[in-house]
Structure 1
Amino acid sequence: MGAAPPSRGATLNQASGRFNLPARDADGDWLDARGEVDGEPPKLRTTVTVERPRTIISRNQSPDIGFDRSINPYRGCEHGCIYCYARPSHAFHDLSPGVDFESRLFAKPDAAALLRAELAARNYAVRPMALGTNTDPYQPIEGEWRITRGIIEVLAECDHPLTITTKSDRVLRDLDLLAPMAAKGLVAVALSITSLTPAIARTLEPRAPRPEKRLAAVKALRAAGVPTFVSIAPVVPAITDHEIEHIVEAAADAGALGCFFIPVRLPHEVAPLFRAWLDTHFPDRAGKVMATIRDLRGGRDNDPDFYGRMKGQGVWADLIRTRFRLACRKYGVTNERIDLRTDLFRPPQGDQLSLF
């Protein structure tokens, strides 16, 4: 197992114990170069593999999740957030949930065409579509692949409701589509902001846009009439929890309609990756952080049970919840609910019908 290079989130590229994958170096590109260069090996390259799925809409029946369908334009995420609960999914591709998750990405260029076909099905029943529920739809490669934009174009054409969760101000590149949808009551956006401290953000989410850029995106979206929220997810005890009030205040100043939070979750391979990250970046408090997380999670690194996984339990969960509620009250964040319209939906027309 090789150590991760700078600017990556994970410090390890360990194999998944669940699938008996072999351990691998953090970057296969380094292996051939080690004998040819002086000093440090070359930077880790990000690779993108085209994926051709048969369908594009993922469905879930989880009772504690507010959507029943979603689309993931990409697998893996270059933002490199160490806590990302989607990391374990890379093990299904015989890749590590560590550095591989951040550097060996998969793109689905047929997403818009697949979506059009699925929306045209006679038995399709409309409900809000969620983007950004697994990996970020506006990670850097979206600038080249524009798969997320293609998906939004189809949804806008059909007047289909949409929710977006992202850590990136790149969402503003699609404001020309989102603003008209918002005027019809068809879209809501959540910007994820976990820390306002540059040093923490650089290690916690090393390739995500800076927090101030995300706050500026909240302000710009609201100015364009797009219902926009701030997600303080996750709250990491003894690392970011002291910033709850500051983030709520900043969200209110940017015009966010509401805020919500989720305590950090460490499913499967995320837990050892997170522990290694703590040992590297916060060795002075690693034990305290993990002890508090276990208290939040009923004595475990992770609580996978419905409802509890989103809220945590015990005195620490109660304290975080109380502080959050008081901060919202202090800064006038009303957390008003947005119900997106479904009655405007029109199935996409085929090539022949569109001629008439």
Structure 2
Amino acid sequence: MSFVTRAAAALAIIAASSAVPAFADNKDLKVGAIYMDAQGFYAGVRKGIQSGAADAGRKLDVIETNAQGDVSKESSFIDSLISAGVQAIIVSPVSADGSYRAIRRAHDAGIPVVCYNTCLNDQDMKDYVSAYAVGDPYDFGHKLGDAAGDYFLAEKKDAPKIAVLNCEFVEVCVTRRKGFEDALKKKVPGAQIVANQEGAILDKAVSVASTMLSANPDIDAFFGEAGGATLGAARAVKSQGRVGKTVVFGGDMTTEIAQELADFTVIKAVVDISGQGLGKLALAQAVKAIDGKAPADIKVPYDIDLYKSSEDGKAWLAAHADGIP
């Protein structure tokens, strides 16, 4: 469900220790933020932006919405933000190619645009985007493929069959899969991808994964390219009575995914980019762009975490008692 809220805060900044740096300019700010979803990773991004606003040391009004993975909704809201006179826009574009027109309109209106998690194709990004806060998607997939390789070597499986639940309507997920395959096949050359279908949203992921298991009962593992795919694959494995036969490697931590990892019967490893951390980084870049301090290199990296044990799952749950990643 779409939401449009406003958050404003003016707190004294704690010098260099703050996640968002202090700025000499004390002008009030108005920033637009667009999320691709309202839960999971994007709920974490939203909390990071809101807490970053509270730490910014100046009055900062954040106007936000959920594009629900819809390019037309994203475009309409960007136009609304332009009309509202925001000084920067933070967005995870729905489409590398389809989102550029609206982002170009913002750029042409003199409004800096900061991408996070996803962005435009390389040329449009250089032309219309001020900064891109991102955990490298190839490294994201590579860390998980490396963990999967270790698992199969320990299980003495030299030709595992892998099914992929993808989110490849965005380019970042294609790159995640490439990293996963490269790392896995380097350790286990006989590994094969036997199915690859879209299943980014939880309900669809459960259905698609269940169909995959029915068609390919010898699947050894799923790779879930995003959170909905990861949890959906785990639920399908359980509902199809495949616990102990099919495992899951996936991306994006949530409370339910961390609980599955802590249980360790189905999910064996998860890679994650902190939504809250990335949200704070994206807001910091937006404020810098407003102040004329955009980075020389558009891509601003953020760390990628790997969780690969029951203890890792329990530790994540203890650190995220509010359930927001």
The TM-score with structure 2 as length reference comes to 0.36
Higher relative contact order (CA 8 A, sep 6+): 2
Larger fraction in strand: 2
Larger fraction in helix: 2
The TM-score with structure 1 as length reference comes to 0.33
